[in-house]
Structure 1
Amino acid sequence: MNASSGKNNPKQSLTIADRLVGDDHPCFIIAEVGNNHNGDFDRAIALVDAAVAAGADCAKFQMRKLDEVYRASSLSGKDDDLAVEYTLDLLRRFELTTEQQRRVAAYCASKNIQYLCTPWDASSVATLETFGVQAYKVASADLTNLPLLAKLAATGKALIVSTGMSTSDEIRAAAKFLDDRSAPYVLLHCQSTYPAALHNIHLRFMETLREIHPLVGYSGHERGIAVSIGAVAMGAVLIERHITLDREMEGPDHAASLEPEEFKALVSGIREVEAARGKKLAERALSQGELINRENLAKSLVAARDIPAGTVVAESDIAVKSPGQGLSPLKMPALIGRPLNRAMAKDDYFFQSDLDNGAATARRYRFDRPWGVPVRYHDTERFLEICQPDIIEFHLSYSDMERDPAAYLSGTYDLGFVVHAPELFAGSKLMDLATPDEVLRRYSLEQTQAVIDITRGLKKFFPKTKRPPIVANIGGFTMDEPLSPERKAECYRIFAASLKELDMDGVELIPQTMAPFPWHFGGQRHQNIFIFPEESAAFCAKHDLRMCVDISHTKLAANHFGFDFGEGLAQLGPHTAHLHFGDAKGLDGEGLQIGEGEIDFDAIGAVLRKHAPGASFIPEIWQGHKNMGEGFWTALERLEGRI
């Protein structure tokens, strides 16, 4: 295939050892040691260790037989200029022996990092083939060295080809030469000056290289890490940067190298950019956080006046107001002229069901375990009029904590109840009974005790519930990064201490299983405790606690951390008092409608029937309460007979 037809090249990825390199795979990161060991074997080992600690995929070295690479007269110093003489002096002093290179390769294998090498001559290729090297780097200086390219292509190994110091025509010629030999390779954009000036780098030349060959990376010699990270954002599938223990050391590459902590920051930055870059989307997908903010901040179509059922909706019947919990204003043209199948009060939301054939409605559902719905004080009576649950779960806000339940409830109810403690309290304070911040912990204790007292007060309305559970998000979150195992253990210890300070007579506090990236104020944080089933089960056994297992949260944790979802639910089962059912997708798509995520509810139903047969449940569907609980009724329809 002609190299210029790269867009049609079927080789969209290649393999280096067990790592796939290409657009849909993590960027392959090379820590280029080169000769920065300055001929010292122990320093070479230290640089491998630094590459491992930084998270690089490989540590790369160089090998050359000087009598093959240079003319005899150059080696004798007779007729070359001072620059060549200086370079040869450094190479003679800073080379590792073949045996030392072999030992470095073995050390890399013991540290689970790839050893790669740049051979500068055919003899070095032959030597490296005895090492079992998985790929070869072609230095910019050898892009036009067709005999060496042929030797390397004949190995069948992946080639990483730098294009510094070469013209576009030379790059095209070399690419065609490799394509004609069916060699797997990556082209690296490179500015071969040490360090390279920013105005000479021209990262967008990667776009031109991609027209020549589909796999393109970047070999950087600039100061800092921003440009290399930017190259990944622009699609580089491989990044190569020099690593050194000290930029002040003698040698030509040290000044353009990164010291260990800088290299670590580079790897971290690349992984962050990859996570943010994602994949090309046919449509823009809203994150769960955006949906939350959209509900709070956007606009809806609402009734401009009281509207009787059967009214043909006119433009004058519609107003656009926040929050965004109803029909989008974009749907106004479709709404005008339609007969309304229900009566609406002024400021009531219009919903999608006003355009369709009506909303899902409640009925008496049949489950082998107690079931219910989440309610607020103000909609309890309305929900109980249209369904007959076994339990209800009061979701308290911090404002509800100041309200008198007797203003909304009357008499007694022949059903059980659960209380869900607020996650957010007044003053934008998040509940955290596991924080080392003693001021916040004491505030959380006070507020939790108030929830306990409210729960005890609710028992008079629900006399059949002797020890009502209180679902609580315990806390233990961090803003910027997850906690170390030691600090996480400290969170559990602090929570255990908090439990002893609460008066829980007549109630039961049940921590909720958490997702790895909880949404707070429409943004994400890192959750650290009550994520791993084995860990949560052990804590419950030690402290005689039961839990609320949020199926959606636990699925997201399984997705992120890679544990077996069904096995995790089995571990949690004996400690499960109550369940929240919602679907889940990816790493943070929580509370989705049943059937709109990744969970196999038939499979988990079998697990829960065996390990948590008596646990009650509610559907925990995001915004399921809207339109008189339409989302809850849909979820219950889809769960019936499965859990």
Structure 2
Amino acid sequence: MADVPVRIGDRLLGDGKPCYVIAEVGNNHNGDFDRAIALVDAAIVAGADCAKFQMRKLEEVYRDSSLSGKDDDLAVEYTLDLLRRFELTIGQHKKIADYCASKGIEYLCTPWDVKSVAVLEGFGTHAYKVASADLTNLPLLAKLVTTGKTLIVSTGMSTTEEIKTAASFLDEHKANYVLLHCQSTYPAALHNIHLRFMETLREIHPLVGYSGHERGIAVSMAAVALGAIVVERHITLDREMEGPDHAASLEPEEFKALVSGIREIEAARGEKLAERVLSQGELINRENLAKSLVAARDLVPGTVISESDIAVKSPGQGLSPLKMSELLGRELKRTMAADDYFFQSDLDEGIATARRYRFDRPWGVPVRYYDIERFLEICEPDIIEFHLSYSDMERDPAAYLSGTYDLGFVVHAPELFAGSKLMDLATPDETLRRYSLEQTQTVINITRRLKKFFPKTKRPPIVANIGGFTMDVPLSAQEKAERYRIFAQSLKELDLDGVELTPQTMAPFPWHFGGQRHQNIFIFPEESAAFCAKHDLRMCVDISHTKLAANHFGFDFYQGLAQLGPHTAHLHFGDARGLDGEGVQIGEGEIDFDEVGQVLRKHAPTASFIPEIWQGHKNLGEGFWTALERLEGHV
């Protein structure tokens, strides 16, 4: 194989690249140009990468005696009759190629003879398909190699030795090519397909795909799971039409389902990992359901820990039970009440502790009612952010707060309310929207009551995850616009006197009840900034969420922060990794906080912030103090 990248047009082919999906029209147009165009349109709607046709000059492909019908059997006579009736002209092929170019889908073709190659070279074709019947046609392969184009080579009807011979020929001529495993019967019986022969093909040549003629889509999707980098399937408007390929073809909705399934498999297949990485949803469920090592009784510093001092209980927010042997015999360095968690720091030399941090913008920490006094004893923040749960909404703040505090404050509204209801001020479900309005108004009223404890804050921000999520698929642009319109209506129905509702930027895949959803609004910076400008809103920009959105949708993260900056009231700082690794400890993800700092100093110089680190509050806020240490001097 040549050393240059293997590609078709702008698409690179290979391991780690999206599977290249070929919609094989072949002769399923049955000689009708308009039907051919309709099949191209169907391929586009289905999400195929290319629409492929076939071109042959019968006098070049068949013997004169075969063409005259003198001495061949009925099968050849039947085939030739169909080919004559179903053939498109060169002019029609050119129009189809031009139509494909205008619609942004690749036009490919299988040339069955040398003269057809010459014609297709005049079209500017980017690659060529070699039919299974021509795997052993070395003169045709030699001609195709001279074009310098990528070859997609089917291996149906050929022995292993024939495949090796053809591959050696292509390698000697430094061709760029992909071998397609293929069972050339129409439709193919499942027991004849032997998908794992792809493993043998990969020993012959590293780039392997699959050309399928089976019924349905499961086998073709399985080929992708087994590493096929190209999948070819026939497409038809009607499987009942005349012609040999229709029965082994997929109708448009089936083809669309195939492409969708392939993309889902690619997303799920991921990478070969040396270490298993827990998803954010698993971390949430682990925290809720797994076990921790806890103190079996009240313990004092200096206690040499024995088995009788340790119990194993849920939730999984402390030291794993797998660490019990390491804990035994250690001298405890802190006071523990019964049921307090043991932490990794009990095995280490010490933990990160709080101090007075120095930032050029107001900074603070997230708190619950019950731990505000404890946190204020060990650090001196400029602000605090109350993270309310739905149970907190029933509590009287005066039971936890007294006097006044020389601090600013922010309130984070619950995302989950009683009865497993998720806040959604943008939902078309009027019952849920009304419930969300009622609960949000309650949060607003609580925030007003908190103002007497924090007289420095005249108009406290309320951070809110507005909603606009869907269970299984993302919304269309039109549907998203409707969700924004509904939220705008909800804003008009809330009494916001004396407070400021600040929508939070969201990640593309929020975790609700330990499972994934699709988020649809307040993801794209330009879109969010435009909404804020129109409705005189400011936002809470969650740095981690916005980075995950940039990773998924491909927009420039730092440019996005610049767009959001003028509309930013408050910030959540956490690192991010991949598509759903949110709230990662600072410096352990993919964000350059020096660059974040430069952008925010220019575009949001007065916005306050807190560290938003996954389980940062544990062990007296150990995760928060680590984050603040690492952020100091950068943001």
TM-score under structure 1 length normalisation: 0.97
Matches within 5 A, 1:392-403: 392-403=384-395
1:244 to 228, 233, 236: 236
Aligned to 1:600: 592
Aligned to 2:81: 89
Aligned to 1:225: 217
Matches within 5 A, 1:323-402: 323-402=315-394
Aligned to 1:70: 62
Contact 1:396/1:419 (8 A) holds in 2: yes
Aligned to 1:109: 101
Aligned to 2:541: 549
Q: Post-superposition shift, 1:546?
A: 1.2
Amino acid of the structure 1 residue aligned with 2:501? L
Q: Post-superposition shift, 1:315?
A: 2.0
Q: Does 1:260 align with 2:237?
A: no
Distance 1:12 1:427 in 2: 59
1:611 to 603, 616, 622: 603
Larger deviation: 470-479 or 43-52?
43-52
Contact 2:20/2:230 (8 A) holds in 1: yes
Aligned CA-pair RMSD: 1.3
Contact 1:31/1:241 (8 A) holds in 2: yes
Distance 2:86 2:453 in 1: 84
Contact 1:12/1:22 (8 A) holds in 2: no
Matches within 5 A, 1:143-222: 143-222=135-214
Contact 1:135/1:157 (8 A) holds in 2: yes
Contact 1:29/1:238 (8 A) holds in 2: yes
Q: Post-superposition shift, 1:10?
A: 8.4
Amino acid of the structure 2 residue aligned with 1:392? I
Distance 1:243 1:233 in 2: 22
Q: Does 1:297 align with 2:289?
A: yes
Q: Post-superposition shift, 1:155?
A: 2.2
Aligned to 1:626: 618
Q: Post-superposition shift, 1:295?
A: 0.8
Aligned to 1:139: 131
Q: How many residues align?
A: 635
Aligned to 1:5: none
Amino acid of the structure 1 residue aligned with 2:609? F
Matches within 5 A, 1:416-565: 416-565=408-557
Q: Post-superposition shift, 1:153?
A: 2.1
Distance 2:558 2:163 in 1: 53
Larger deviation: 66-75 or 429-438?
66-75
Distance 2:33 2:253 in 1: 21
Larger deviation: 108-117 or 412-421?
108-117
Larger deviation: 122-131 or 75-84?
122-131
Amino acid of the structure 2 residue aligned with 1:538? A
Distance 1:486 1:92 in 2: 47
Q: Post-superposition shift, 1:12?
A: 10
Aligned to 2:16: 24
Amino acid of the structure 2 residue aligned with 1:336? L
SS of equivalent residue, structure 1 residue 50: helix
Amino acid of the structure 2 residue aligned with 1:580? H
Q: Does 1:583 align with 2:575?
A: yes
SS of equivalent residue, structure 2 residue 23: strand
Distance 1:18 1:610 in 2: 38
Q: Post-superposition shift, 1:602?
A: 0.9
Q: Post-superposition shift, 1:190?
A: 0.7
SS of equivalent residue, structure 1 residue 301: strand
Q: Post-superposition shift, 1:11?
A: 6.3
Aligned to 1:274: 266
Q: Post-superposition shift, 1:398?
A: 0.5
Distance 2:3 2:264 in 1: 26
Distance 2:21 2:303 in 1: 65
Distance 2:523 2:627 in 1: 24
Amino acid of the structure 1 residue aligned with 2:553? F
Aligned to 1:3: none
Distance 1:38 1:427 in 2: 59
Contact 2:428/2:486 (8 A) holds in 1: yes
Distance 2:326 2:291 in 1: 17
Contact 1:13/1:23 (8 A) holds in 2: no
Amino acid of the structure 1 residue aligned with 2:574? G
TM-score under structure 2 length normalisation: 0.98
Aligned to 1:4: none
Amino acid of the structure 2 residue aligned with 1:378? Y
Contact 2:2/2:174 (8 A) holds in 1: no
Q: Post-superposition shift, 1:478?
A: 0.5
Larger deviation: 400-409 or 80-89?
400-409
2:121 to 93, 116, 129: 129
Contact 1:570/1:607 (8 A) holds in 2: yes
Q: Post-superposition shift, 1:632?
A: 0.3
SS of equivalent residue, structure 2 residue 153: strand
Q: Structure 2 unaligned runs (5+)?
A: none
Distance 1:98 1:539 in 2: 52
Amino acid of the structure 1 residue aligned with 2:33? F
Per-residue CA deviations over 1:179-200 (Å, capped at 9, x if unaligned) read 2222111111111111111121
Distance 1:131 1:479 in 2: 45
Amino acid of the structure 2 residue aligned with 1:440? L
Per-residue CA deviations over 1:227-279 (Å, capped at 9, x if unaligned) read 11111011100000011122121111111111122111111111111011111
Same amino acid, percent of matched pairs: 85
Contact 1:12/1:214 (8 A) holds in 2: no
Q: Post-superposition shift, 1:213?
A: 1.2
Distance 1:154 1:538 in 2: 54
Amino acid of the structure 1 residue aligned with 2:398? A
